[in-house]
Amino acid sequence: MKKVPFLLSFVLILSLSIQAQDIELQLVKSGYSRLLGLEHSGDDRLFTVEQNGLIEILNPDGTVNPTPFLDLSSIITPNGERGLLGLAFHPDYVTNGFFYVNYINTSGNTQISRYTVSANPDVADASSALPIIDYTQPFSNHNGGAIKFGPDGYLYIASGDGGSGGDPGNRSQNINTLLGKLLRIDVDNPSGGNNYGIPADNPFAGAIPGSDEIWAYGLRNPWRFSFDVLTNELWIADVGQNAVEEINKVSATEAGLNYGWRCYEGTAPFNNESTCPDESELTFPFAEYDHPAGFSITGGYVYRGTDYPNLQGLYFFADFATSIIGTVDSSGTLTNLGNFENRSWSSFGQGPDNELYILDFDGSIYKLTTLLSGNDNNVLENAISIFPNPATDSFTIGIENDRISTVSISDLKGSILINQSVNDKTETIDINNLTQGIYLVTITNDGGASATKKLIIE
């Protein structure tokens, strides 16, 4: 288990200060009802998730198909914090046509099921439901709901602590219940009489005490999580109780982490009874912010698109209650980009091109844009030098009138081979472990802008 010392330098503990709005919101589509999600299946269609049970297709030309992709309205409980909460397409969807939904059923409990697309690619087979996993909800709130396939091909499920307030059953710290957890299951290799299997490296798998499905615990109401498509890092936004909204960032391979709830709310002690683990056994937030700057965090994604290089590497989040949009950079510095028109930001979406969208619960989809475009990144590119190039054992990166924040090296297939923090004007990179060939070097500065250079290794 990861043990993180309880040091203030590990987190950001401050109220948000308003910064200049350097992003713009481009309206993509309005007219929806209670929007909670936006996903893609690998092509240029976007699939919207509505709390009332509808999944609809938004086409590239801005039209919405008249027939929903899937209508689950008859089998869900749609009010309050319940309803259709999550959608995930199988990594091999183009071949098998499988996708997964997370909803609160008519009994008020969580159900994750698999469906299959019909012969018509724009309509699912409503009769194809295969129940995957379910668990009882003791109260109506704190249901989590996001589901994602990780870079390892397993299905991850965000589960809230079961509701009420203050986690009265201390369920998040109880490793024998699925509530207050991040779950991880294998939907491709069912076993044990279930429609799913348990990955062998799950922290409590097999004879180890604890529920086999658990990947991480100590969460209150993780309202959206995501994996960075470049680094595979896992980001979890966890809604606070009275005082703190938190953002967690860890490697996707770190298993069995305890995020601390209900013992701690963020880094603040909440119900730190004698049964709580020692601080050294907990994983504290990468960043957090206090109330009243926000009251209900909505997690997003790390920007990895190409349209706006100045946003590269920034994690975007929002707040449902206060309409703010913010970012967290690679060092954990949190920036409030301001209040945006009193919107109820319910979720983010990531397109097949890695561009980002943000959803207003009241029915509108916006694309995150900025006044700077790819052409504006020429200034940064011209300020960066790489020498020698071609290189053999090492090379040096320099930047004029700026500081290098991170450097990553990828092959032409897009695989990241080296990724390191710098925080200096120059950096020498050891490349003895790389074979001869052509590589792409991406340099990000302190402001979050990035540029890519070609490197030849002889």
Residue 454 has pLDDT above 70, yes or no: yes
Contact indicator for 260, 241 with CB cutoff of 8 Å: no
Residue 297 has pLDDT above 90, yes or no: yes
Higher confidence at residue 453 or residue 343? 343
Token pair belonging to 124: 């699912």
Kindly indicate the confidence band of residue 18, based on its pLDDT and cuts at 50, 70 and 90.
very low
Give which of 139, 353, 150 is closest to 232, Cα–Cα.
150
Kindly indicate the confidence band of residue 293, based on its pLDDT and cuts at 50, 70 and 90.
confident
What's the pTM value of the predicted model, to 2 decimals? Answer: 0.80
Mean pLDDT of 396-405: 88
Separation of alpha carbons 396 and 404, rounded Å: 12
**How does the average pLDDT of the chain come out, rounded?**
91
Kindly indicate the confidence band of residue 325, based on its pLDDT and cuts at 50, 70 and 90.
very high
Higher confidence at residue 247 or residue 8? 247
- What pLDDT score does 273 carry? 85
- What pLDDT score does 310 carry? 84
13: exposed, middle or buried (C-beta count within 10 Å: 0-12, 13-18, 19+)? middle
Residue 15 has pLDDT above 50, yes or no: no
> What confidence tens digit (pLDDT) does each residue in 266-291 have?
999 999 888 899 999 999 999 999 99
Higher confidence at residue 452 or residue 398? 398
Ranges of CATH 2.60.40.3080 domains, the chain: 374-457
| Angle at 245 (CA atoms; ends 288, 182), nearest 5 degrees | 100
Kindly indicate the confidence band of residue 315, based on its pLDDT and cuts at 50, 70 and 90.
very high
Give the chain's length: 458
Separation of alpha carbons 41 and 45, rounded Å: 7
Ranges of CATH 2.120.10.30 domains, the chain: 8-369
User: Using CA of residue 92, residue 94, residue 95, residue 99, what is the dihedral sign?
Assistant: positive
Task: Name the CATH code of domain 374-457 (choices 3.40.50.10300, 3.40.50.300, 1.10.15.40, 2.60.40.3080).
Answer: 2.60.40.3080
Token pair belonging to 226: 């995501």
Q: DSSP letter for 72, please.
A: -
Strand-by-strand arrangement of the 404-410 sheet = 416-424, 404-410, 437-445, 450-457
- What pLDDT score does 413 carry? 61
- What pLDDT score does 20 carry? 38
Cβ within 8 Å of residue 127, ≥6 positions away: none
Residues of the chain above pLDDT 70, percent: 93
In the CATH scheme, what is the code of domain 8-369?
2.120.10.30
SS (H, E, C) 227-282: ECCCCCCEEEEECCCCCEEEEEEECCCCCCEECCCCCEECCEECCCCCCCCCHHHC
The residues pairing with 237 across neighbouring beta strands, listed in sequence order, are 247
Residue 371 has pLDDT above 70, yes or no: no
Rg (CA), the chain: 22
Cβ within 8 Å of residue 402, ≥6 positions away: 380, 383, 425, 445, 446, 447
> What confidence tens digit (pLDDT) does each residue in 20-77 have?
346 889 999 999 999 999 999 999 999 999 999 999 999 999 999 999 999 999 999 9
Token pair belonging to 23: 């992003």
Kindly indicate the confidence band of residue 372, based on its pLDDT and cuts at 50, 70 and 90.
low
Instruction: Give Cα separations from 219 to 50, 152, 159, 329, 427 (angstroms).
Output: 24, 22, 8, 23, 38
Q: Please state, as a whole number, how many other Cβ atoms lie within 10 Å of the Cβ of residue 156.
A: 23
Kindly indicate the confidence band of residue 16, based on its pLDDT and cuts at 50, 70 and 90.
very low
Cβ within 8 Å of residue 9, ≥6 positions away: none
Residue 50: what residue type? E
Kindly indicate the confidence band of residue 414, based on its pLDDT and cuts at 50, 70 and 90.
low
Separation of alpha carbons 50 and 101, rounded Å: 12
> What confidence tens digit (pLDDT) does each residue in 126-135 have?
999 999 999 9
Token pair belonging to 61: 């030309």
- What pLDDT score does 340 carry? 87
> What confidence tens digit (pLDDT) does each residue in 172-187 have?
999 999 999 999 999 9
Contact indicator for 345, 337 with CB cutoff of 8 Å: no
SS (H, E, C) 398-412: EECCCCEEEEEEECC
Cβ within 8 Å of residue 139, ≥6 positions away: 162, 163, 164
380: exposed, middle or buried (C-beta count within 10 Å: 0-12, 13-18, 19+)? buried
Contact indicator for 285, 311 with CB cutoff of 8 Å: no
Separation of alpha carbons 297 and 323, rounded Å: 10
Strand-by-strand arrangement of the 155-159 sheet = 147-149, 155-159, 181-185, 214-217, 257-258
